[in-house]
Amino acid sequence: MRGILIVVSGFAGAGKGTIMNKLIEEYPGYALSVSATSRAPREGEKEGVNYFYKTREEFEEMIKNDELLEHAEYVGNYYGTPRAFVEKKLDEGMNVLLEIEIQGAMQIKKAFPDALLVFIMPPSAKILKERLTNRGTETPEVIDKRMKRAREESEGIESYDFIVINDEVDKCTALLHNIILSASYQPSRRREFIEQVRAELRNI
């Protein structure tokens, strides 16, 4: 069975990264796509682990060569999903996670109608701002930009298949896994099995 392409979006500071890492650690069958970006690495981030860091020119070259499944500009920087890794892992039957923002998510939905789109929400706007501030990696100006962006992004949540509220990481991770597991039993994702049983029924 081909893997499920899963888009996970959420406001900056909603805790997506933590949940993705926990999901991969605790459950088998998931691969996390590493994006390309033109933004500078934050302290502690590693090339090839958090992102592939590119200049704007290098990024534009990747777009031109059709190396990206989707790409978008977010708060002044390019972000995009390298195509080859995703296709390979899906073919291997892995569920592939894309942690991307909403413009990219809409491109994926269009190009891959059976992708599963999940939006991770904080319990409240106040908690979101606290999490962004406590992270300590962003200037107040960037935090303000990201809160404004969150307001804009909140308008698009209904385009997603599910929301997950991140009040507690373990609970949220288990819920996300269960959503994906449930999706894997949709008849459209089990065509081969259904056909096989139909054939058996004809021959029994």
Q: Can you count the helices (H) and strands (E) in the chain?
A: 8, 9
CA quadruple 144, 146, 147, 151: dihedral, nearest 10: 140
Query: Nearer Cβ to ligand 5GP, position 15 or 80?
Result: 80
d(CA 31, CA 153): 26
Is 19 among the residues that bind ligand 5GP (CB under 6 A)? no
One residue of 6, 54, 97, 99 binding ligand 5GP per CB under 6 A: 99
Q: 76: which 2 tokens?
A: 């002044």
Is 83 among the residues that bind ligand 5GP (CB under 6 A)? no
Q: Coil, helix or strand for 72?
A: strand
Given a contact cutoff of 8 angstroms between Cβ atoms, the answer to whether 101 and 79 are in contact is yes
Minimum separation from the CB atom of position 101 to ligand 5GP (A): 4
Q: Coil, helix or strand for 42?
A: coil
Minimum separation from the CB atom of position 170 to ligand 5GP (A): 21
Minimum separation from the CB atom of position 99 to ligand 5GP (A): 5
Is 100 among the residues that bind ligand 5GP (CB under 6 A)? yes
Minimum separation from the CB atom of position 172 to ligand 5GP (A): 16
Q: Amino acid identity, residue 73? A: E
Is 72 among the residues that bind ligand 5GP (CB under 6 A)? yes
Binding interface with ligand 5GP (CB under 6 A)? 12, 35, 39, 70, 72, 74, 79-81, 99-101, 103-104
